[in-house]
C-alpha cells in the first residue's frame, strides 16, 4: 500500500483503506462483479477476477445526467430513422467497403438478404450513447462554456455491453454509502454521497423487459413443427464477459411467464443448431437438452459478430442465415452498419440531422457534438488532411470504425497515417478532443490500487422497436434503459474496462 494513497485525503489510515478494499472485494465476489478467466479452468473449477471499479463514486453534474437521459429518446428516434434509410447509409459508408473487411461483409450480407426478400419488417435495437463533460480552453470556440457540458464520445448500436456490470457497481456504492464506509466530508471537505446523490440503475430489468416486448411482438410459432418460441443470444466463444451477459438472460427466465432464452456461440454452432424453413422461420435445435421438438426463434440478440475477423466463410454464412430469417434481429444489419464512426461524423454536416429529425430535436442533438472530419477528398476531408500534414494533431483523435475499445490513435496520428494505405483513410475520422474536468478517486483494477486525477464517461442505454416499410419507420417502442459510468486515470487515453483501461463507477450527482 503506497503512502501516497494513504495520505491522499480520501482516508486517514492504511487500516481504513485496507478495510474498505476488503469490503469491495467481498461485494464483488458475492454479487458476480467479475470477469471469467477462460484460459484457466477445468471440468470442476473455473477462475475469475474482479472487474475494475472505483473505490468512491465520482462527481457528475445532476443537470447533465438528467439531460442525457432525456435526449436518449431523440437519439433512439434518430438512429432508427438512419437504419431505415438504406440509400443514405450506403452513401455515407460506401468508401469504406473496399478497404474495411467488416463494412464489406455486412453490405454483402445485406444485399443477399434483400434479394431473397425481407422476412421481417420489425427491428429491435439496444443503443448506448457515450458522453464526457467538456470544458473549452479556447475563448473563440463554439463549444466555449463556463460550466462543463455534455459532449458525445460515440454512439453504439451493436453489442452494447456493460449494463450488468454498471448495475452491480452502482448497487455496491449505494451499499457502501448506507454502511457509512465513506467519510469524505471529514477527510476532504467534500459532501458525502447519499441515497439521493447516487442514482439507482435498473438496466438489467429494463433491457430484459424490452427483449421480452420484442419476443411478444413476434407472437406465437408460425411453423407447425415448433411448439414454442424462444429468444436466441449469439455470443463469442471462450466468453470472459459472462457476468455482464448472463444476468439479462436470467432476468428473462425469471419473468412470469418466463421468456425462454438460449445461447449459441458465433460461427459454426449457428449453422449446426439452427435451420431455416421454407417460409423463413428460424428453428433452433438445442444442443445437449432433452428437447425433441425444435423451437422457433422470436428474437436474435447479437453479442458477437462485431469484429472483422469473425466474418470468414462460416461467419458470413451464419450471419446470413440469421438475417434471412423471420426472427426479429437486435440489431438489424443496417442498424449494425449505423454504428460506424463515419455515420457519426456525417451527421455533423449542416442539414444532415434535419433529414431525420424536426429542427427542434436536431438542435438538441447538435449541442452534444464536437467537431469531426472525414479523411476523404471532400472539402472537410482535405482540411483534415492539411491538419495531418502540418503535424499538430494534439487536439484531435483518429478513430477507426472498430468496436471494443483500444483502437483509437492519439498523439501519433501523422506517423500512423503515413504507414496506412491512402485508400484506407476514408475508414477513419478525426474527432476534436473532448476536454473533461478532472476529479480525484482511487481506482481498483487489474494493475492494482492507485489514487490520482481521473476523468469519467457516462453511457445512456436506449431501447427501441420499430416497423420498417419503404425506407420509412414506425416506432413501436422507445425507452430509456439505464446507464453505465466509467472512470479512468486522467493520463490514460482509452476507456474500455474489460481491457483494463478504466473502471466501472457511479456518478455522485451534484
**What percent of the residues of the chain are helix, what percent strand, and what percent coil, each to the nearest 5?**
35, 25, 35
Which residues fall within 8 angstroms of residue 281, CB to CB, at 6 or more apart?
221, 222, 223, 226, 296, 297, 325, 326, 327
Q: Name residues whose C-beta falls within 8 Å of residue 379's C-beta, 6 or more positions apart in sequence.
A: none
Using the Cα atoms of residue 250, residue 252, residue 256 and residue 257 in order, give the sign of their dihedral.
negative
225-259 residue pLDDT tens: 999 999 999 999 999 999 999 999 999 999 999 99
CA–CA separation, 123 vs 452, rounded Å? 44
List, for residues 72-121, the tens digit of each pLDDT value. 999 999 999 999 999 999 999 999 998 899 999 999 999 999 999 878 99
* Omega of the bond leading into 331 within 30 degrees of 0 (cis): yes
What is the reported pLDDT for 225? 92
Task: Concatenate the DSSP letters of all residues of 330-356 into one string.
Answer: ES-HHHHHTTSHHHHHHTTSTTTGGGT
Mean residue pLDDT of the chain comes to 91
DSSP 8-state assignment for residue 299: E
Phi and psi (nearest 5°) for 317?
-65, -40
Structure confidence by residue, pLDDT tens digits, 110-148: 999 999 987 899 999 999 999 999 997 654 444 445 689
- Find residue 461's DSSP bridge partners: 128
Does residue 1 carry a pLDDT above 50? no
**Cell numbers of 302, please?**
447479437
Spatial neighbors of 37 by CB under 8 A, at least 6 apart, are: 46, 47, 48, 49, 240
- E strand segments, 57-121: 58-60
443: part of which helix (H) or strand (E)?
A: strand 439-445
Does residue 413 have a known ligand-binding role?
no
- Count the neighbouring beta carbons within 10 Å of the beta carbon of residue 141: 14
Per DSSP bridges, beta strands 53-54 and 46-50 are unpaired
User: Can you tell me the mean pLDDT for 13-34?
Assistant: 91
Does 405 belong to an annotated binding site?
yes
Contact (CB, 8 A) for 429 and 372: yes
pLDDT of residue 366: 98
pLDDT tens digits, 491-502: 998 888 888 889
DSSP assignment of 323-337:
HHSSSEEES-HHHHH
| 44 confidence band (pLDDT: 50, 70, 90) | confident
Contacts for 146 with CB less than 8 Å, ≥ 6 apart: none
What are 409's three cell numbers? 490513435
Please give the pLDDT value at position 333. 96
In 3D, which of 154, 250, 211, 221 has the Cα closest to residue 460?
A: 154
Which of 382, 493, 487, 413 lies closest to 444 in space, CA to CA? 487
| pLDDT confidence band for 186 (50 / 70 / 90) | very low
Q: Please tell me whether 437 is known to bind a ligand.
A: no
Positive or negative, the Cα torsion across 251, 252, 258, 261? negative
On whether 432 is known to bind a ligand per the annotation, the reply is yes
Residue 235: partners with Cβ closer than 8 Å, 6 or more residues away: 245, 263, 264, 265, 266, 303, 304
Q: Is 406 annotated as a binding residue?
A: yes
Q: Is 341 annotated as a binding residue?
A: yes
Tell whether residue 359 is among the known ligand binding residues.
no
- Backbone angle region of 484, left / alpha / beta, with phi > 0 → left and psi within -120 to 50 → alpha: beta
pLDDT (tens digit, 9 = 90+) per residue, 370-408?
999 999 989 999 999 999 999 889 999 999 987 766 689
pLDDT score of 11: 54
pLDDT-derived band at 189 (thresholds 50, 70, 90) equals: very low
Q: What is the pLDDT of residue 185?
A: 58
Distance from the first to the final alpha carbon of the chain: 31
C-alpha cell at 295: 423451437
CA 461 to chain centre: 8
Query: Per the annotation, does 457 bind a ligand?
Result: yes
Q: What was the pLDDT predicted at 195?
A: 65
Q: Of the candidates 108, 116, 153, which has an alpha carbon nearest to the alpha carbon of residue 133?
A: 153
Interacting residues of 498 by C-beta distance below 8 A, sequence separation 6+: 35, 51, 161, 240, 241, 405
Cell 445461447 belongs to which residue? 263
Q: What percent of the chain has pLDDT over 70?
A: 92
Contact 506, 170 (CB under 8 A): yes
Q: Is 488 annotated as a binding residue?
A: yes
Q: How many helices (H) and strands (E) does the chain have?
A: 16, 20
Name the grid cell of 189: 471537505
| Overall average pLDDT of the 14-41 stretch | 91
Q: How confident is the model at residue 14 (pLDDT cuts 50, 70, 90)?
A: confident
pLDDT band at 192 (very low <50, low <70, confident <90, very high): low
More confident residue, 196 or 151: 151
Q: Is 410 annotated as a binding residue?
A: yes
pLDDT for residue 137: 60
Residue 374's Cβ-count burial label (10 Å; 0-12, 13-18, 19+) is buried
CA angle 132, 459, 357 (to 5 degrees): 90
Q: Say whether 22 counts as a known binding-site residue.
A: no
**Is 402 annotated among the ligand-binding residues?**
yes
- The pLDDT value given to residue 119: 83
CA distance 164 to 33: 9
pTM exceeds 0.85 for this model? yes
**Binding site annotation covers 39?**
no
Residue 4 has pLDDT above 70, yes or no: no
Q: Name 4's bridge partners.
A: none
**Mean pLDDT along residues 318-347:** 97
Tell me how far apart the alpha carbons of residues 447 and 438 are, in angstroms, rounded to a whole number: 21
Taking residues 282-311, report their average pLDDT: 92
Q: Report the chain's C-alpha Rg in angstroms.
A: 23
Amino acid at each position: 500500500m503506497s503512502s501516497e494513497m494513504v495520505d491522499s485525503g480520501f482516508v486517514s489510515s492504511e487500516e481504513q483503506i485496507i478495510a474498505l478494499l476488503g469490503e469491495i472485494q467481498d461485494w464483488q465476489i458475492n454479487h458476480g462483479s467479475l470477469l471469467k478467466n477462460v484460459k484457466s479452468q477445468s471440468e470442476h473449477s473455473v477462475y475469475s477476477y474482479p472487474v475494475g471499479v472505483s473505490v468512491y463514486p465520482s462527481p457528475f453534474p445532476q443537470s447533465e445526467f438528467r439531460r442525457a437521459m432525456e435526449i436518449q429518446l431523440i437519439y433512439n428516434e434518430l438512429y432508427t430513422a438512419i437504419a431505415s434509410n438504406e440509400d443514405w447509409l450506403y452513401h455515407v459508408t460506401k468508401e469504406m467497403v473496399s478497404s474495411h473487411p467488416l463494412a464489406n461483409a455486412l453490405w454483402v450480407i445485406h444485399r443477399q438478404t434483400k434479394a431473397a426478400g425481407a422476412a421481417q419488417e420489425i427491428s429491435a435495437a439496444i443503443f448506448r450513447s457515450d458522453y464526457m463533460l467538456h470544458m473549452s480552453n479556447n475563448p473563440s470556440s463554439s463549444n466555449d462554456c463556463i460550466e462543463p457540458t455534455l459532449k458525445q464520445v460515440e454512439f453504439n448500436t451493436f453489442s452494447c455491453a456493460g449494463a450488468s456490470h454498471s448495475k452491480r457497481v452502482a448497487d455496491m456504492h449505494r451499499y457502501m454509502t448506507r454502511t457509512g464506509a465513506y467519510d469524505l466530508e471529514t477527510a476532504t471537505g467534500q459532501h458525502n454521497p447519499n441515497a439521493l446523490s447516487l442514482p439507482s440503475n435498473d438496466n438489467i430489468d429494463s433491457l430484459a423487459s424490452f427483449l421480452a416486448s420484442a419476443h411478444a411482438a413476434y407472437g406465437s410459432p408460425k411453423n407447425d413443427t415448433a411448439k414454442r418460441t424462444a429468444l436466441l443470444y449469439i455470443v463469442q466463444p471462450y466468453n470472459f464477459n459472462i457476468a455482464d451477459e448472463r444476468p439479462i438472460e436470467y432476468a428473462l427466465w425469471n419473468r412470469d411467464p418466463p421468456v425462454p432464452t438460449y445461447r449459441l456461440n458465433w460461427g459454426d454452432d449457428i449453422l449446426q443448431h439452427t435451420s431455416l424453413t421454407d417460409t423463413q422461420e428460424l428453428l433452433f435445435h438445442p444442443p445437449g437438452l432433452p428437447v425433441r421438438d425444435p423451437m422457433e426463434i422470436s428474437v436474435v440478440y447479437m453479442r458477437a459478430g462485431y469484429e472483422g475477423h469473425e466474418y470468414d466463410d462460416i461467419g458470413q454464412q451464419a450471419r446470413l442465415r440469421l438475417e434471412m430469417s423471420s426472427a426479429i434481429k437486435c440489431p438489424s444489419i443496417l442498424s449494425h452498419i449505423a454504428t460506424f464512426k463515419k455515420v457519426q461524423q456525417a451527421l455533423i454536416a449542416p442539414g444532415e440531422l434535419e433529414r431525420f429529425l424536426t429542427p427542434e430535436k436536431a438542435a438538441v442533438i447538435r449541442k452534444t457534438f464536437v467537431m469531426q472530419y472525414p479523411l476523404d477528398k471532400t472539402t472537410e476531408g482535405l482540411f483534415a488532411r492539411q491538419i495531418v500534414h502540418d503535424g499538430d494533431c494534439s487536439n484531435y483523435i483518429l478513430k477507426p470504425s472498430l468496436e471494443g475499445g483500444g483502437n483509437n490513435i492519439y498523439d501519433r496520428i501523422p506517423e500512423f497515417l503515413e504507414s496506412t494505405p491512402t485508400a484506407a483513410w476514408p475508414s477513419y475520422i478525426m474527432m476534436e478532443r473532448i476536454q473533461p474536468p478532472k476529479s480525484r478517486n482511487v481506482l481498483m483494477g487489474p494493475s492494482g490500487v492507485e489514487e490520482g486525477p481521473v476523468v469519467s464517461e457516462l453511457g445512456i442505454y436506449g431501447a427501441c422497436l420499430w416497423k420498417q416499410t419503404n425506407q420509412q419507420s414506425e416506432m413501436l417502442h422507445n425507452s430509456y434503459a439505464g446507464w453505465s459510468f466509467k472512470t479512468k486515470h486522467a493520463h490514460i487515453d482509452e476507456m474500455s474496462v474489460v481491457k483494463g483501461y478504466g473502471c466501472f463507477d457511479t456518478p455522485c450527482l451534484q
